Every structure is written in C-alpha cells, then in structure tokens.
Amino acid sequence: MDKKIFSAAGFFGMTAIILGAFGAHALKKVLSVDQLVTFETGVKYQMYHALFLLFLGLNNHLSFKTKKTILVLTILGIIFFSGSIYLLATDSLNAFNFKVIGFITPIGGMLLIMAWAIFSLHFLKKKA
C-alpha cells in the first residue's frame, strides 16, 4: 500500500510543479490575473495533498484499510478539485464550455475534507 501512496504523492507533486511552471510562464501570456490566481489555487491544493499523501505513506499508526480509504479519497479529491479548477481557469482557451463541470469542484473539496476527517478521527479515537 505504501508503494501506491508514495507513487501517487510523487506523481501529484511532480505534476503540481509542472503545472505551476506552465501557469507562471506559458499561461501568464494568455490568461487574466484572476484566471491565473484560480489556476494557482488548483496547483497549491494539489501540492498540499501530494505532501499529505507523502505523510500518509510515512505514517505507521494507520491500518491498511484506513490508508487505502484516505488514498482513494485524496486522489479523487485532487482530480475533481484541482482538475476542475484547471479546466475552469483555462476555459477561455477552449471551444468547450467547462463551466458545465463546475459542480465537480465542491465534490472534490468534500472528498479532500473527508480524507482529512478520517485521518483526524483515527487519532482522536486512538487511546494513548
């Protein structure tokens, strides 16, 4: 399980850096300041959660099942939350109107909140 967690952490961390650089250099020329700020929000949250996955993989106090649940929620949360933000921020560059998928963003946010809640509740329930 830890191999999958570390692989996901590495992938999302790496792509956050790539997308951040892409936004700072290539998209800076074609997006408004507001669109760039929105894009950067997606990058930040992706990187925060890549680091969360790294920490999850290093944690020995969680069961296999708990880690798997948190991993799945975090991966889906990143894809839905940050992924939809990337598409919405760059909507003006496409012929397709990505605003129709705007409802996915809060679903992704809720999945990320659930991952953190499960992580936190595990330690609140744990006896000293």
> What is the C-alpha separation between 127 and 16, in angstroms, rounded?
37
User: How far is residue 18's CA from residue 50's CA, in Å, rounded to a whole number?
Assistant: 13
Share of the chain above pLDDT 70, in %: 99
The boundaries of the domain holding residue 24 are: 2-125
**Cβ neighbours of 3 (radius 10 Å):** 8
Domains of the chain: total = 1
101: confidence class by pLDDT, cuts 50, 70, 90:
confident
pLDDT at res. 46: 98
CA nearest to 56, candidates 118, 98, 128, 127: 118
User: What is the chain's mean pLDDT, rounded?
Assistant: 94
Nearest residue to 39 (alpha-carbon basis) of 54, 19, 58:
19
Q: Would you tell me how many other CB atoms lie within 10 Å of the CB of residue 112?
A: 22
Q: Is the pLDDT of residue 128 over 70?
A: no
Q: What's the confidence (pLDDT) of residue 125?
A: 85
| Structure confidence by residue, pLDDT tens digits, 41-77 | 999 999 999 999 999 999 999 999 999 999 999 999 9
